[in-house]
Amino acid sequence: MVDRFELGREFFAQLEQEDEKIAREVAAGVCQKCERGALHRSDYSRKPRGGLIAPGGEGSVRRFSLCCDQEGCRKRATPPSLRFLGRRVYLGAVVTVASMLARVIANATELRQVTGVPVRTTRRWLGWWGGPFVSTSVFVAVCARLVGVAVSRHGELADTGAGAAVLGNPARCVAWLANKLASFGAGLKAGDIILPGAVHRMIGVAPGDVFQAEFDHLGTVTARFAGTEDTP
């Protein structure tokens, strides 16, 4: 049995403050569609559900939103939010917590009693986390930043690193390279292999050295250097 879990009003008040900051940051830029319009506040009301997990976050809530001021464009720009997860009627925190609970509570009746969310809804969310979510640009970027590597020399750990060590995200190196090559009139072709740069410190190599780099989820690369340490 899992204890009842409740997110209170203060929690959502903090998320609202963060949402306000995000909205101000987005509003400081220009419209992404016409690339010149200023963005004006155009908030609207939403009535999110909290189930039994977040009754304090329910009620009428302002969804911070922006609108381009250019005649003929008027495109709406809704900044990312910590309170809402897309257009889901339940609060984002409820979707997250109920999904986690669904992983540990197998009994449908118990799950419903703890979350207050219909079980078929929770199951649909689990399908989303395991399917469409993993191909979202946000998730792909986070994975690339966090992919870890352990480098060993002769089986002894020499250093560790993470993808974020290369310009914050290895994909940025690929973008940089593509732009640089374009400035020389060249480009990248399908099938090209790109080395985005090391994510660990430089390590000296001697003849006969064997290095192994183990990448989280990706696999292992082994490099052997010719010769022995006795024969230069």
Out of 22, 26, 27, 73, the only residue in the binding site for Zn ion (CB under 5 A) is 73
Longest dimension (CA), the chain: 77
Q: Which region among 28-36, 48-56, 104-112, 213-221 touches Zn ion (by CB under 5 A)? A: 28-36
Distance CA 143, CA 221 (A): 19
CA dihedral 107, 110, 111, 116 (to 10 degrees): 150
Is residue 102 within the footprint of Zn ion (CB under 5 A)?
no
Min dist CB 34 to Zn ion, Å, is: 3
Tally of CB atoms within 10 A around 36: 11
Distance CA 192, CA 186 (A): 13
Is residue 68 within the footprint of Zn ion (CB under 5 A)?
yes
Q: Which region among 69-77, 95-103, 156-164, 185-193 touches Zn ion (by CB under 5 A)? A: 69-77
> Is 38 in a helix, a strand, or coil?
strand
For 95, residues 6+ apart whose C-beta sits below 8 A from its C-beta are 85, 88, 125
| Closest CB to Zn ion among residues 76, 180 | 76
Q: If we measure between CA atoms, which residue out of 165, 155, 174 comes closest to residue 220? A: 155
Residue-wise DSSP of 162-215: EGGGTTTSHHHHHHHHHHHHHHTT----TT-------SS------TT-EEEEEE
Interface with Zn ion: number of residues (CB under 5 A): 8
| Closest CB to Zn ion among residues 10, 71 | 71
> Is 76 in a helix, a strand, or coil?
strand
Out of 37, 161, 163, 170, the only residue in the binding site for Zn ion (CB under 5 A) is 37
Min dist CB 193 to Zn ion, Å, is: 40
Min dist CB 28 to Zn ion, Å, is: 15
Is residue 39 within the footprint of Zn ion (CB under 5 A)?
no
| Closest CB to Zn ion among residues 33, 112 | 33
Out of 42, 65, 70, 152, the only residue in the binding site for Zn ion (CB under 5 A) is 70
Report the interface residues with Zn ion, using CB under 5 A.
Answer: 31, 33-34, 37, 68, 70, 73, 75
